[in-house]
């Protein structure tokens, strides 16, 4: 199998078969991200993809879940992506293909093109929306705004494509978490993603956000504020949706459905918030300052 650079995927896709489709990220300019530094963006050759599929077919012939690896393979042209999908289906005709997509990867495609790609196998996308706060999105250099997130989601829904979204708490900085959560809920309440991942941002060496924090241009939210931000978001969501949180990125570990589990999960989150002492707040701030990876 060929891999050039990191294999990055959601926790829920750990049991998928990973096939490299692109290397790096086509944007690679988000202030908080260092996943793909040193790996210039490129598409994997079709010959490499086919060689990997042949090897995987020998070892894992019953595979039904494939993760098309790369920062955002959905940025490729509809024609290129369709060719990749047909090649994957040649070896794994029953497989569902999942992959990362940026918001603007979707908005650049027509509903007809998205529907064509669904028929070629790309029926499940994971989108790092991060948040629905235009000021935070602009500062983090995401390259899109809240209106673009809504446009992308509605296109996918019209085309019948399932999609999951990632929320990255703390992006708005200290003092702005609850407002960011409310603005994000306003966006999500117009859409119907099947799953929302709840994460919080890490300020890592080698990123522009790390330099911003050191220079005083960005003040990192504390532990209590990060928890309260997630509580506000969960409280404000109106449409049915599944939420996933893991302790490697938040203080929580749950897989719940809203609105059914709202009271239960909010009670658990509020109990966690009440238990954060001043000492722990200080220790977590020091730990975050020393953090080197996620």
Instruction: Tell me the per-residue pLDDT of 43-84, one tens digit each, with 9 for 90 and over.
Output: 999 999 999 999 999 999 999 999 999 999 999 999 999 999
Whether residue 4 is contained in a domain is answered as no
CATH code where residue 152 lies:
3.20.20.70
pLDDT recorded at residue 113? 98
pLDDT digits (tens, 9 = 90+) for 206-222: 999 999 999 999 999 99
Please indicate, yes or no, if residue 5 is contained in any of the structural domains.
no
What confidence tier does 290 reach under pLDDT thresholds 50, 70, 90? confident
Place of tokens 């047909």: 86
Mean pLDDT value across residues 83-87: 97
Residues 102 and 75 sit within 8 Å (Cβ to Cβ): yes
Which residues constitute the domain of residue 239?
11-290
Domains in the chain, number? 1
6 falls within a domain: no
In a domain, 116, yes or no: yes
211 within a domain of the structure (yes/no): yes
């Amino acid at each position: 199998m060929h891999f050039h650079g990191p294999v990055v995927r959601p926790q829920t896709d750990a049991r998928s078969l990973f096939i490299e489709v692109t290397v790096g990220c086509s944007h690679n300019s988000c202030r908080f991200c260092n996943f793909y530094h040193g790996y210039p963006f490129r598409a994997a050759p079709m010959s490499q993809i086919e060689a990997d599929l042949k090897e995987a077919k020998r070892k894992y012939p019953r595979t039904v879940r494939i993760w098309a690896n790369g920062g955002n393979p959905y940025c490729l042209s509809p024609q290129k992506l369709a060719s990749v999908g047909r090649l994957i289906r040649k070896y794994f005709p029953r497989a569902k293909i999942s992959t990362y997509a940026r918001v603007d990867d979707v908005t650049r495609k027509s509903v007809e093109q998205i529907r064509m790609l669904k028929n070629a196998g790309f029926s499940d996308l994971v989108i790092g929306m991060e948040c629905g706060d235009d000021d935070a999105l602009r500062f983090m250099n995401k390259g899109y705004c809240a209106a673009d997130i809504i446009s992308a989601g509605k296109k996918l829904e019209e085309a019948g494509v399932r999609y999951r979204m990632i929320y990255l708490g703390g992006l708005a900085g200290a003092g702005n978490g609850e407002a960011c959560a409310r603005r994000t809920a306003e966006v999500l309440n117009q859409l119907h993603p099947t799953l929302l991942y709840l994460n919080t941002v890490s300020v890592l060496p080698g990123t522009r956000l790390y330099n911003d924090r050191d220079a005083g241009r960005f003040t990192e939210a504390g532990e209590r504020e990060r928890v309260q931000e997630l509580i506000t978001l969960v409280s404000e969501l109106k449409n049915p949706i599944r939420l996933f949180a893991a302790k490697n990125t938040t203080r929580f570990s749950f897989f719940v459905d809203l609105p059914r589990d709202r009271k239960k999960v909010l009670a658990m989150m509020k109990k966690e918030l009440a238990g954060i002492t001043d000492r722990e707040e200080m220790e977590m701030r020091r730990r975050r300052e020393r953090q080197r990876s996620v």
